Amino acid sequence: MNDAAHDLHAPHFIGIGGAGMSGLAKILAVRGAKVSGSDAKESETVLALRALGAEVHVGHAAENVPAGTSSVVVSSAIRADNPELTAARERGIPVVHRSDALAALMGGRRALAVAGTHGKTTTTSMLAVSLGELGLEPSYAIGGDLDAPGSNAHHGTGEIFVAEADESDRSFHKYAPEVAIVLNVELDHHANYASMDEIYESFETFVGRIVPGGTLVVSADHEGARELTRRVAGREELNIVTVGAADDADVRVLSVVPRGMTSEVTVAIGGSELTFTVSVPGRHYAHNAVAALAAGVALGVPADGLAKALGSYTGVRRRLQLKGEAAGVQVIDSYAHHPTEMAADLEAIREAVGDSGRVLVVFQPHLFSRTQQLAEEMGSALAMADASVVLDIYPAREDPIPGVTSELIIDAARRAGADVRAEHSFAAAPAVLAGMAKPGDLLLTMGAGDVTNLGPAILDELS
């Protein structure tokens, strides 16, 4: 498979509209490859790819794979019986995993890979934007759009390539970065990892892929990250830089001061203190920015210039993205779907709202397996909101698990003291939420599924 990854002059992407796949397709199209692909439905991303010259079909069929295809690119989400995948195997066309294709694109560049259970997309985006602001023309591949469809990837003329490194299917073992960030290490992706030990082993393998003389930037605050540091400490030709608020951090966060929807961050780095603005709210985003700063410095980017440039990052679509305001109510979209992310986003929003209004949430659980494992923690996180509505589980790639429904989360939330109700009708949700909201409130649409589509409908109801 690895050898095939280098034959990307005429690639066909199955599921080309997905966040990870569309970015690679875009970079290859800009580099002059003859790109084709298919996706389940029309989307802004598909239109953006067609505008770059890609041939994209809607729906999956064997005849979508063009004659002359050099390789067929798949992600872990593509099922084995997909007709295009079957056609590729019958025709002897090499099948390449998305991660192999990304590894091939990074070849010959100074790679910076961002890993961790949470915060990867934000931190990768912060680096992409700030390095671009400094005129370093980085290439990047991110799991979310910066500001517009198709902005999840870029082919830059500079020597740096910043990539989000996904642990969910162990695909981050394919990369060989000069600098790697590990933001945190927690149990998630229950379909692929049976235990915390398996997750540590997976991250250790990733750290082992850092080029000799390269740098690991790792959190000093998260217990999982500290355990990983203990496990890899003493490896030859590996520089370790710890970051965080902990007293023993190499790059230390001295303070994070909330200023509405922004924060002022002060860090101790390289023997001096540096204060800069992070243009998104919340302590966890400030810490992501400090990890980005440390990684850039490890690549030789001056700290003061990079710190200033980090202030130009204003967010990723779906990561606390303001969708609009109507009737005095702000509607914000959050991709948070793991309890740690949910709690962090709710804490950030609570800080931004202050005492002026309430925080309301409509939460759509993502995956039956995740709900089965983490319903209690999800319920506890929802208790941080003033009131919440929980939708049915978004199945994505999974089949239902008997007895696993949103009620598990609702029961846990009530035990934690939450004001929470179920809503089984997606279509009815906007009117229900608009009816709950009062001027000064902040309403969060939360989850990794299609709950993001409710924002505009809620704003319509409010106005």
Model pTM above 0.75: no
Instruction: Catalytic residue, from 164, 178, 341, 461: name it.
Output: 164
Span 291-324, pLDDT tens digits? 999 999 999 999 999 999 998 877 665 567 778 8
Q: Does the annotation mark 121 as catalytic?
A: yes
Q: What is the pLDDT of residues 170-217, one digit of tens each?
A: 889 999 999 999 999 987 756 677 788 999 999 999 999 999 999 999
pLDDT at 144: 62
pLDDT-derived band of residue 351, with 50, 70 and 90 as boundaries? Answer: confident
Query: Catalytic: 120?
Result: yes
Task: Please provide residue 22's backbone torsions phi and psi, each rounded to the nearest 5 degrees.
Answer: -60, -35
Q: 125, 123, 127: which is closest to 147 by C-alpha? A: 125
Q: Which pair of structure tokens corresponds to residue 209?
A: 């892929």
Query: Which is catalytic among the residues 121, 123, 371, 445?
Result: 121
- Name the pLDDT band for 1 (thresholds 50, 70, 90): very low
**Rounded CA gap, 109 and 106, in Å?**
6
pLDDT grade for 446, boundaries at 50, 70 and 90: very high
283-298 and 303-310 helices cross at what angle (nearest 10)?
150
Residue 319, beta-bridge partner list? 334
Mean pLDDT of 38-54: 92
Mean pLDDT of 78-89: 95
Tokens of 35: 């790109």
Burial of 428 (0-12, 13-18, 19+ CB in 10 A): exposed
Q: Which of 45, 84, 117, 120 is catalytic?
A: 120
Q: Is there a catalytic annotation at residue 164?
A: yes
Helix 196-208, helix 223-232: angle, nearest 10? 50
Q: Which residue do the tokens 């063009």 mark? A: 66
